[in-house]
Amino acid sequence: MDQTLTIIKPDSMEAKNAGNILAHLEGEGFQIQALKRMRLSQAQAQSFYEVHRERPFYDSLVAYMTSGPIIAVALAREDAVAHLRKVMGATDPANAEAGTIRALYGTSIERNAIHGSDSPENAHKESLFFFSQAELIAAG
Ligand code: CMP
């Protein structure tokens, strides 16, 4: 089975939407392979979003992602990366299709409820950012 990585972001945690989001993902056939609640340090958030370092929203994104706890979840499913992106919806909740997680729970282009890996390569990299190889395999 393919794997992807989602982050339930601080806005979802604050609004107590984590349970609904996990239920939504399980309802879409995703298996929770590994799960971790934590608060990202500034260095961790900067490193995770390194690819966006030159973007104008980078500092605000790092501040937001360190503003409260998150839940990192490694998910398994057939066609996991593409399917998560479909059920997650567009980056800006205002443009996200009705019924998608970002349409349901996101409130702005920054506070957009969850993150989802954009390729199988990044899914692998991002899963190893949060979880050990052993944690990812043991759940199999
Ligand atoms: P995510 O999919 O986690 O990837 C980068 C994040 O940056 C994005 O979700 C948003 O939370 C945040 N962000 C803020 N402003 C923008 C923007 N203009 N374009 C893309 N992402 C943005």
Residues of the chain with pLDDT > 70: what percent?
A: 98
**pLDDT band at residue 26, thresholds of 50, 70 and 90?**
very high
Assess whether the C-beta atom of 112 lies below 6 angstroms from ligand 1.
yes
Structure tokens at 54: 């030159």
The question of whether 124 is a catalytic residue gets the answer no
Domain boundaries, the chain: 2-139
Sheet holding 31-38, edge to edge: 31-38, 70-77, 2-8, 114-116
Using an 8 Å Cβ cutoff, are 10 and 64 in contact? Answer: yes
- Rounded to whole angstroms, how far apart are CA atoms 121 and 21? 24
Architecture in CATH of 2-139: 2-Layer Sandwich (3.30)
Tell me what the mean pLDDT of segment 69-86 comes to: 98
Residue with the smallest CA separation from ligand 1 atom 3 is 115
Grade residue 137 by pLDDT with cuts at 50, 70 and 90. Answer: confident
* Ligand 1 pocket test, candidate residues 60, 71, 91, most atoms within 8 A of CB: 91
Q: Which of 24, 52, 83, 115 is catalytic?
A: 115
pLDDT of residue 55: 98
Whether the pLDDT of residue 111 is over 60: the answer is yes
Query: Once rounded to an integer, what is the mean pLDDT over residues 83-88?
Result: 98
Helix ranges (H only) for the chain are 10-14, 18-27, 42-48, 58-65, 80-88, 101-105, 120-130, 133-138
Q: How far apart are CA 26 and CA 86, in angstroms?
A: 14
